[in-house]
Amino acid sequence: MTNFVPSTARLLVKKRDSVYSRYPVSLSRRIFLGGAALFSASAASASTENGEQRAARSFQARVQAAQNERQLPIPDHVSNGDEQRYANRIGNYSKGLPHNDLGEVDSRAYSALLNALSTEQTADFESLTLGSPDPSRQRKLVDPLAGEAFDMEGTDCNQLAIAPAPAFASAHQAGEEVELYWMSLLRDVPFLEYGTNPLTQAAAAELSRLSDFRGPKSAGQVSARTLFRGITPGDLSGPYLSQFLWRPAPFGAQFIDSKIRTTLPGLDYMTQYADWLDVQRGSQPLVSDQFDYTPRYIRNGRDLAQWVHKDVLYQAYFDAALILLTPPDASDSRSGGGIGAPLNPGNPYNHLRSMEGFGTFGGPYIAALVAEVATRALKAVWFQKWFVHRRLRPEAFGGHLHNHLAGKTRYPIHADVLNSAAVAQVFSKHGTYLLPQAYPEGSPLHPSYGAGHATVAGACVTVLKALFDESFLIPNSVVPTSDGLGLLAYTGAPLTVGGELNKLASNVASGRNFAGIHYRSDMSESLKLGEAVGISVLADQHLTYQENFAGFTFTKFDGNRITV
């Protein structure tokens, strides 16, 4: 188990891992004693200190946190090399800029984008040439400069890193794209029917045969039980979706039902080439979503994709916090969402006779911390998106695949996706090889790697695991009916808070994959990036507490235990 030194929260970044893992390092006597002196003031001295003394301690705390973060090594930020490898930029994100009829970006416009990213000047972004032939329909690039914003808590967004994305021509990239084609074909199949549906069997069989597919497997094979699932402890336990997506959220005196407004089945967008090219140039689509106005519990990939189309980024984890905090009320059936989970065993108020947590270690603190880490996670992943990797979106890869298979040009695309049964089925259905999208507009206008939803998920779930008892068993677990109109009792193995929080993070991230706008590695690497953000915020906050607090112990996404 890894321990973080509470008095200084000093962390070391280990380079060249899938995310830069943090390990404790030895501290100089000066730093250690300085931190200990800062935070070991007795109750008597604290009660007698004047305003100047308090201000001095506050200043020292800020300086200590800044010194700890400053001593982190500067990580290398390594891309997959596609931007240098291909002069036509086929391996990189360019949506919203001018494109030729093959969907290849105008080289001058792309160079201008690189220049703006280099100068970080608003004027250079404002002078970019955008691609829509109709200015009234032009969509805007999403917040490139967020990746260079500083934060006053946690590790600076430039000092966390993720591994290079799979390269355009690699078997790894091909495997991820094949999975997305299968996800598009299976959007309307209920998760409850994955074990019997012939299409899920075909998907599992093809993914098992791929040269380099990195989704979970059982005995070396993808199965209906592992299909499209995530990488965390808990992802393979119980139903595909987390209980936190099906329980009502007790929002104070209100009860928020977990049924959603989803979209109608059978809808696929950007399957015709003219529509695809128009969207790549940044045009708002000419069609809109068509909704199913019968509220339903999330029961398939389409519903999950729609949930993450409309959510507030930390919504799932705020709901989870409310469910965990609220005790069940047997006298009122409407409050069935609350489970009253115990707090983490490390919570300093667990065994106190005269005090309970509130602004620290209590309900308001927990609810606020979920949102607090979300904004820092976004800055970390926006730096990776715009300033390091600039990975093309799956819809763009699908366009290159279509033009290659249609004989319009030749690209270095791996045979695993060129010969995919899923791609062939999509062609039979739509007459093109384009990746069908769940959203009319396809992806948002920012690069694919890492994923914003997944990074926020990693950060928020990390702090929730640090704040609640992971081992607590969730009572009255459920699964939805195949039509999403009702809930059935789940009768499988018990589900834990920690496992279902991990699954919640993967579900939200994979919902974007079901939509066709992110890849599996976007999800898996970004969860770990968000986890690193969450750990760094917890560590910095440890410097501020006056309670007797030894740290929170919880399980990371890789299964290792850690104390912060």
Give the separation between CA 32 and CA 18, rounded to whole angstroms: 30
| Diameter of the chain measured on Cα atoms | 81
Contacts of 212 (CB under 8 A, 6+ apart): 170, 171, 172, 174, 175, 416
Q: Angle at the Cα of 464 (from 247 to 544), degrees rounded to 5?
A: 145
Contacts of 9 (CB under 8 A, 6+ apart): 65, 68, 539, 540, 542, 543, 564
Structure tokens at 246: 């099906």
Q: Of 422, 414, 518, whose CA–CA distance to 206 is shortest? A: 422
H-helix segments, 470-550: 497-514, 520-542
Give the separation between CA 455 and CA 83, rounded to whole angstroms: 24
- What is the b/e burial string over 180-215, where b = at least 16 CB atoms within 10 angstroms of the residue's CB? bbbbbbbbebbbbebeeeebbebbbebbeebeebeb
Specify whether the CB–CB gap between 477 and 247 falls below 8 A: no
Give the separation between CA 216 and CA 192, rounded to whole angstroms: 19
The residue from 172, 414, 453, 542 that is catalytic is 453
453 is annotated as an active-site residue: yes
DSSP state of 130: P
The residue from 99, 389, 446, 518 that is catalytic is 446
Give the separation between CA 202 and CA 479, rounded to whole angstroms: 24
Q: Which residues are catalytic?
A: 446, 453
